[in-house]
Amino acid sequence: MKKRQNLPTFSDHAVHAKTGMTWAEWLKALDAAGARRMSHKAIVAHLRSRYLLTRWWQQTIAMSYETARLVSKQAPVRRAARRGRIAKASPKKR
């Protein structure tokens, strides 16, 4: 069974009509640009400098990419915690 990607409710047709690319093409282009290692602000800056998009589409594509690829500054911490590498905080004693 193919894993469902977490993309917004905009269809490929709607995204292509407004941006010239489908969701799959956006994911591929941002992967090639190294967006997995970029901050949200850097992804938006990349989109602004390379593509003719409105600010709304820059934000929408960046957020959709981060959601689809599960890019988050917290992701490494969660992975480390699952592996038991981060000690759980103990409650403060009064």
What is the structure's pLDDT at 11? 86
What is the structure's pLDDT at 82? 54
How many domains is the chain partitioned into structurally? 1
What is the structure's pLDDT at 10? 81
Question: Could you tell me if residue 69 is inside a domain?
Answer: yes
- Answer with the residue of higher pLDDT: 8 or 34: 34
Question: Could you tell me if residue 76 is inside a domain?
Answer: yes
Structural domain harbouring 24: 12-82
Question: Could you tell me if residue 6 is inside a domain?
Answer: no
The proportion of the chain whose per-residue pLDDT surpasses 90, expressed as a percent, equals: 56
Question: Could you tell me if residue 16 is inside a domain?
Answer: yes
Question: Could you tell me if residue 24 is inside a domain?
Answer: yes
36 Cβ contact list (under 8 Å, min separation 6): 69, 71
Question: Could you tell me if residue 19 is inside a domain?
Answer: yes
Question: Could you tell me if residue 68 is inside a domain?
Answer: yes
Distance separating alpha carbons of residues 41 and 64, to the nearest angstrom = 14
> Which whole number is the average pLDDT over 1-11?
60
> Which whole number is the average pLDDT over 25-47?
96
What is the structure's pLDDT at 27? 95
Question: Could you tell me if residue 91 is inside a domain?
Answer: no
